[in-house]
Chains A and B, each alone.
Chain A
Amino acid sequence: MDNKNKIIALNRYILTLESYKTNLNNENLEKFETLKSKISSLLDENHRLRFNRIEFYSEMPDYSDIRIEDLPF
C-alpha cells in the first residue's frame, strides 16, 4: 500500500477506534482485535512498538451471574 492510501486508511481507523472507546465489550472484542492488527500493520516499526504496548482494556470478573450457592459464606 502506498503512503497516500495508508494515510487514508489510518484516518479511517482513528474514527473506528473512537467508536470502541466506550463501547468495547465481549461481543465486539474479536472485531476490535482485528482492527488493532490492521492498524499495527500500517505503522512503521517505532510506532508499531508503541502502539502494541498499549493496554486498551482490562478484564474484570463478572459478578452479575454468581449464584448464591457459590458464595463462600
Chain B
Amino acid sequence: MQIVPNEKAFKQAEAIIKDAIFNLSFNKSDPNDLKLFKLLQARLNNPDFEIELAEFICGEQNNSYPYRSSFFLTKFFKDLGYDYTHTGKTRRFWVADVLMELSVNQIATIIEKGLFNKRDFIKLSKDKIVTSVEETYQKAISEFKNFIDNSLHTESSIDLEALLDLNINIELLFDKQVQTEDEQLNKLIKEAKERFFNPNDKQIALEKLWDAFERIKTYYNSNKRQSSMNLINNISKGFDADTINKEFIELTNIGNRFRIRHHETDKLEIESNKHLNYLFFRMLTLIDLCLTSIKENK
C-alpha cells in the first residue's frame, strides 16, 4: 500500500497543538488572553464551531453578515494575509476547512479584522434598502454573541463573559484551594465557586457562600458571637478591627435583607447578574481574608 499524506490534516494538527499550548500558557490576568480563552472554550465545546462561524463569513441567508461570493471569500482571506483560494467547493464547507487549519489566535484576528470589518458591511450588505448598515452591523454583533454564548453553554456552561466584564480577582476564584480543618466549610466554599461558573446557578452560589460565612463565624467554637470576635481579632492584627467588624455586620445584614439566607416574600430579590457578581466577590474576599488568617494562626 502507498501512503498519501493529507497536507490539510497536518495543518489542522498544528492548529490544535498551538491551541493546546495557549491553553497551557495563558495568563489569567491578561484581558486579551482571557478573550482568546473564551473563544477557545467556545471552539472546544461546540463541534460545529467552524461551520457556524463559516456561515457568518459567507454571509448566508439566515444571518446579517454581508454576502461573500467565491471571489470575495478568497479576497477576505488574502486581505488578512492568508493564501487560500476558493475553488468551487460549497462556500461554507470550504471556509470551515480553512478555519480548521487556523489556531484560535488566528481566528480571533479573522473575527476582529475580517468578520467585523465595517467596510464590507457597507459594500456587501444584503438588504441596504430595508435596514441601515449600522442596524445590520449591530444585529450581526448580537448574532455573534449568541453564537459564542450557545457554544459555551452547549456543554459546560462556563460563564466567562462575567469574568471578562468584571475584572474580578481571578486568582481568588480559580487558584485557591480551601483546606481548613472544617470539611463542611471547605465543601460549601468549593461548591459556591463551582456553581458561580454556571450563569443559572449564581443565586445558589451566593447562598452557599453566605452559608460558608455563617459557618466560618463558628470556626473557633459553637458560640457564634465569641467565635466571630476571635476571628475578627485575628483578621485585624496590624489593621483596624472596627473596619472588619463593620464589614462582618454589613454582610450579615445584606444576607438577611436580601433573598440570600432567607426566602420570605419580604426579602429583596437580587435581579441582575452584576449585583450577584458584586455581592459574591465582596463576600468571597472577606472569606478569603478569614481563611488566610485562620491558616496563619494555626
Query: Chain A: residues with CB nearer than 8 A to chain B?
Result: 3, 6-7, 10-11, 13-14, 17-18, 20-26, 29, 39, 42-44, 46-47, 50-51, 54-62
Given A7-B21, A10-B17, A46-B44, check contact A22 B7 (CB 8 Å).
Answer: yes
Q: Which 8 A-B pairs have the closest CB atoms?
A: A24-B5, A46-B44, A47-B20, A62-B2, A59-B1, A21-B10, A3-B24, A60-B2
CB nearest to B12 among chain A residues: A54
CB distance from B97 to the nearest CB of A (A): 13
Do the beta carbons of B23 and A47 come within 8 Å of each other?
A: yes
Docked complex Cα distance between A56 and B1 (Å): 15
Contact of A57 among B4, B12, B20 (CB under 8 A): B4
Contacts of A58 in B (CB 8 A): 3-4, 6
Do the beta carbons of B21 and A39 come within 8 Å of each other?
A: no
What is the predominant secondary structure among interface residues of chain B facing chain A?
A: helix
Contacts of A13 in B (CB 8 A): 17
Do the beta carbons of A57 and B5 come within 8 Å of each other?
A: yes
Do the beta carbons of B14 and A14 come within 8 Å of each other?
A: yes
How many residues on the B side are at the interface (Cβ–Cβ under 8 A)? Answer: 22
Given A7-B25, A56-B5, A61-B2, check contact A44 B13 (CB 8 Å).
Answer: no
Beyond A21-B7, A47-B44: 7 further Cβ-contacts under 8 Å? Answer: A6-B24, A10-B21, A22-B7, A26-B1, A54-B12, A56-B5, A62-B1
User: What 0/1 readout, one digit per residue, does chain B (1-40) give for beta carbons within 8 Å of chain A?
Assistant: 1111111011011101111110111000000000000000
Given A7-B24, A47-B44, check contact A17 B2 (CB 8 Å).
Answer: no
Docked complex Cα distance between A58 and B25 (Å): 34
Given A10-B17, A14-B18, check contact A59 B9 (CB 8 Å).
Answer: no
Contacts of A24 in B (CB 8 A): 3, 5
Docked complex Cα distance between A61 and B2 (Å): 6
Contacts of A25 in B (CB 8 A): 3
CB nearest to A29 among chain B residues: B3
Contacts of A44 in B (CB 8 A): 20, 23
Docked complex Cα distance between A47 and B14 (Å): 11
Docked complex Cα distance between A56 and B16 (Å): 13
Do the beta carbons of B13 and A51 come within 8 Å of each other?
A: yes
CB distance from B103 to the nearest CB of A (A): 11
Contact of A51 among B2, B5, B7, B16 (CB under 8 A): B16
Do the beta carbons of B21 and A59 come within 8 Å of each other?
A: no
Docked complex Cα distance between A23 and B3 (Å): 10
Do the beta carbons of A20 and B5 come within 8 Å of each other?
A: yes
Do the beta carbons of B5 and A21 come within 8 Å of each other?
A: yes
Given A3-B24, A10-B21, A47-B44, check contact A57 B14 (CB 8 Å).
Answer: no
